[in-house]
Amino acid sequence: MDIQQNSMKCKNMNTRLKRLFENIKWLFLLQVCSYIFPIISFPYLAQKIEISQYGIYVYILTIMGYYQVLLDFGFTLSGTQRCAENKHNKEKVSTICSSIIIIKFALAFIGIVFLYVLKNLSIIEEQFNFFVLMYVAFCINAFLPDYLFRGMESMSVFAKRNLLTKILFMLILISFIKKEEDFCYIPLAYLIPNIVAFFISWYLAKKYMFFSFVIPKLEEIYEEFKCSLFYFFSRVANLFTSSINIIVLGIIYNNSEIAIFGVASKMIDVIRSLFTPVSDAFFPYMLTNKNFRLLKKSVFISFFISSLIAGVLFLIIPYIIKIFFGNEYLEAVYIFRLMLPLIIIALPIYLLGYPTLCALKKDKWANISVFVEGVSQTTGLLLLFIYNMITFTNVIFLTICSEVLILSMRSFLAREILFKNDR
């Protein structure tokens, strides 16, 4: 009997390991594609449309980032957690998903109200139909049940559908946007793939996850709302830091100038995102092993590696921009070089975040540091605006100061491992 039980345990363990490696494989492929597609799509658009049109696109896409956070409301994390906790209770999972859907309908309505508030901005008023179509596309994307697939550990389904969406996006982009006059078709590249993803996702959710829509009680809806609230505020603070610059600059500068800033900023973001897998890998490792000696070495080594990368980019960036974006975007070289300190400190900030502070039982401070950075960035921009000092250089300098602040805060919180002793 014991032999049979042990055999069953081994079989179940092998099944779980197989699923784990399968999930890792698909998520790794998705991560790689998430880097590749922006590298292709943004230069392609920059070459096919006017620089002023590209500025409009960057500005509207930045605003859509805020809509995305509003419509998601942190459910990507809280919904995943809640579905995972109740994965063996299909009725409960259906109630959770149904509650999230109802909340998102309410959020979508709030988003529509904001549409008409933002219409007063000149850059939006000129391209209001473009703006509305982009909102519809992002709205449909918000209703995808990704939290369900994640929570039920069906990462391959989520990853395959995501890859399909990205490929379809690129095909539409290349097929429809070939000249300046095709600018109006850009929303289709977002809208059509999201519609396809919507029907595929909910079909799979119903067939394989046994999802069925139910009418939840008010307290059940409130429970999901409450669970997600903290994640929402954390994401808002993070988004404020990363994208509010373009929103504010768009009030002062013209579309072409915003395009120049957007190119430099997007390239910095893509490079910084390449560091996140290192932090993601350290996170579970540190929770289990608490190897602070290795972490300390990694933090200091990361400064050297990041500085080396920044130095190389300083030299070659004119050639990169000329090849991928064209001569009219060469002014972005100066802005990109000013932003290089953001690359140097990115990896140390990531490593000293959740991998370090969670291992030290200071996980709440990792979130608080994000809030502090967001408040400092917003306050600084407000002061610059009041005193009529909004320039590219000043905004970049403010951003670097905000990033140094979060680095200093996390370094102070981790001082016992960074500056005193090795454990």
Statement: residue 322 has pLDDT above 60: yes
In three state form, how does the secondary structure of the chain look?
CHHHHHHHHHHHHHHHHHHHHHHHHHHHHHHHHHHHHHHHHHHHHHHHCCHHHHHHHHHHHHHHHHHHHHHHCCHHHHHHHHHHHCCCCHHHHHHHHHHHHHHHHHHHHHHHHHHHHHCCCHHHHHCHHHHHHHHHHHHHHHCCCHHHHHHCCCHHHHHHHHHHHHHHHHHHHHHHCCCHHHHHHHHHHHHHHHHHHHHHHHHHHHHHCCCCCCCCCHHHHHHHHHHHHHHHHHHHHHHHHHHHHHHHHHHHCCHHHHHHHHHHHHHHHHHHHCCHHHHHHHHHHHHHHCCHHHHHHHHHHHHHHHHHHHHHHHHHHHHHHHHHCCHHHCCHHHHHHHHHHHHHHHHHHHHCCHHHHHHCCCHHHHHHHHHHHHHHHHHHHHHHHHCCCCCHHHHHHHHHHHHHHHHHHHHHHCHHHHHHCCC
pLDDT range class, residue 196, cuts 50, 70, 90: very high
pLDDT at 335: 93
Residue 5 has pLDDT above 60, yes or no: no
What integer pLDDT is reported at residue 192 of this predicted model? 92
- Mean pLDDT taken over the chain: 81
Q: What is the pLDDT of residue 423?
A: 46
**Model confidence, pTM:** 0.69
Taking residues 231-249, report their average pLDDT.
Answer: 73
How much is the pLDDT for 278? 72
**pLDDT: is 393 or 288 the higher one?**
393
Residue 236: its pLDDT value, please? Answer: 74
- Predicted pLDDT at 207: 77
Share of the chain above pLDDT 90, in %: 15
* pLDDT value of position 231: 73
pLDDT tens-digit map of 266-290:
888 878 877 776 776 676 567 667 7
The model's pLDDT over 293-318, given as tens digits with 9 standing for 90+, comes to 888 888 888 889 899 999 999 999 99
pLDDT of 123 above 70: no
Q: So what's the pLDDT on residue 339?
A: 94
Over residues 15-54, the pLDDT tens digits come to 555 655 566 566 666 666 766 777 778 788 888 888 888 8
- Mean pLDDT for the stretch of residues 107-123: 78
- Residue 370 has a pLDDT of 79
**Model pLDDT, residue 51:** 81
Q: What is the mean pLDDT of residues 371-397?
A: 87
In this prediction, residue 420 carries a pLDDT of 64
Q: Does pLDDT of 151 surpass 80?
A: no
Quickly state the pLDDT bin for 177 (edges 50, 70, 90). Answer: confident
SS3 29: helix
